[in-house]
Amino acid sequence: MKIERVETFVLRTPLGADTFYSSQAQFPERTSLLVRLTTTDGVVGWGEGGQYGPPEPVQSCIDDVLAGRLVAAPDASPGVIWDLLYSTTRDYGQKGPYIEAISAIDIALWDIMGKTLNTSVSTLIGGRFRKSVKAYGTGGYYSSAGFVPGRDLDELSDTVSGYAADGFGMLKIKVGLLDVRDDARRVIAVREALGDDFTLLADANHAYNSSSAIAMGRVLEDHGFQFFEEPVPPEDRQGYARVRSRLDIPIAGGEAEYTRYGFRDFIAGGCVDIIQPDICVCGGISEVQRIVALASTHNLRTIPHVWGSGIALAAALQVCAALPLAPYTHVPRPLQNEPVVEFDRTRNPLRDDLLTSEFELVDGYVRVPAGAGLGVDVDPAVVERYRVGGSDIRSTAA
Ligand SMILES: [Mg+2]
């Protein structure tokens, strides 16, 4: 297969009154960088690159550097293109927007290969261990940068109770914006609102030094949380290892890590029990398979991080369908050894409106799209509604 057209789409939508906060930032808008590739045979594939950062640098990497190499390649198979693009940007790439751009292109190429062969991406990358994946809701963000205990704890309790009423049996909340004592009150409020049997997870978005992370981790352990995500900054491998050695709660991380090389060092450092590569960040579907293989040699679980549009979620579901148990048991147990999928619940029209079909929660599970490629179709009218930039690059031979 050969690519003759590369289109990029910068999508942006303000959140207005639904603006929220993590420990790191205010989120006044949702953005996505999408890429649409078209082959010389007219087959179209979609990909997405990046997560929290601005989409424009990723767009520039595609438009100004990678697109020309892609349309010039005689064979645009995903593995061939991955190696070409990574190898020829290694001296200045390795992490950041270049790898996010390669991720977007790689996801689109797998979508094309699936459509060309009329089979799903999950089938192409090894087969479907499961047709649906247990979902955990991500919510429980902060509605402001301050803390008014009565108002904020009531609001948080109402929010998480709403997710439970929607059918979630597993939920991840945020910690790290407040001091440990006040975040502990949020943790207790959520546990009390949902009861002892509800599976709870927590994410600090690398808010802590190792001492504060250990203090927060003890609070989470006392209230039966099942993992503690990004306790310390991703560069602080020794801090990760210290936190992990002092706590019993599983430590998760990896959404800000890139390629098998980054994960090699993250895993070798004894940082985590669960790796969380983001498929739109770590190098795409090609690279996440290599990262998963590496993690499997250490008997680690992989739970992909998911944040972006419906394309990102579709790619994650295809990968989750093809993940083996870690480790195998006769009866899979979601989260304990069977992959679960992150299902962000903050408002995002780019996730909920972009596709012609919806991802529905049924008995706590999300179905893996069964159609060819990623198994989803993009609504062009929605793309145009939210598009604020992008470009259209064609092969000069076309
Ligand atoms: Mg996170």
Neighbours of 146 (CB within 10 A): 10
CA of 393 to the centre of ligand 1 (A): 34
Clarify whether 305 is annotated catalytic: yes
CA of 5 to the centre of ligand 1 (A): 34
Q: Residue 53: exposed, middle, or buried by beta-carbon count in 10 A (0-12, 13-18, 19+)?
A: middle
CATH number for the domain whose boundaries are 3-119+377-392: 3.30.390.10
Q: Are 195 and 220 in contact (CB under 8 A)?
A: no
pLDDT per position as a tens digit, 300-354: 999 999 999 999 999 999 999 999 999 999 999 999 999 999 999 999 999 999 9
What's the rounded Cα separation, in Å, for the pair 44 and 34? 13
CA of 275 to the centre of ligand 1 (A): 11
Domain boundaries, the chain: 3-119+377-392, 123-367
pLDDT per position as a tens digit, 19-31: 999 999 999 999 9
pLDDT at 347: 92
Nearest to 71 by CA among 79, 62, 58: 62
pLDDT at 177: 98
- Catalytic residue (choose from 206, 223, 305, 330): 305
Q: How far is Cα of residue 250 from the mean position of the Cα atoms in its chain? A: 19
Would you say residue 137 has pLDDT above 80? yes
CA of 228 to the centre of ligand 1 (A): 10
CATH number for the domain whose boundaries are 123-367: 3.20.20.120
Q: What global pTM score does this model have?
A: 0.98
Nearest to 263 by CA among 94, 48, 33, 103: 94
Nearest to 201 by CA among 177, 219, 228, 176: 228
Residue 126 to residues 103, 123, 130, 323: CA-CA distances in angstroms? 19, 5, 12, 9
CA of 203 to the centre of ligand 1 (A): 6
Q: Residue 187: exposed, middle, or buried by beta-carbon count in 10 A (0-12, 13-18, 19+)?
A: buried
Q: Are 76 and 3 in contact (CB under 8 A)?
A: yes
CA of 84 to the centre of ligand 1 (A): 30
Percent of the residues in the chain that have a pLDDT greater than 70, as a whole number: 99
Would you say residue 59 has pLDDT above 90? yes
Burial call 72-106: b when 16+ CB within 10 Å, e when fewer: ebeebebeebbebbbeebeeebeebbbbbbbbbbb
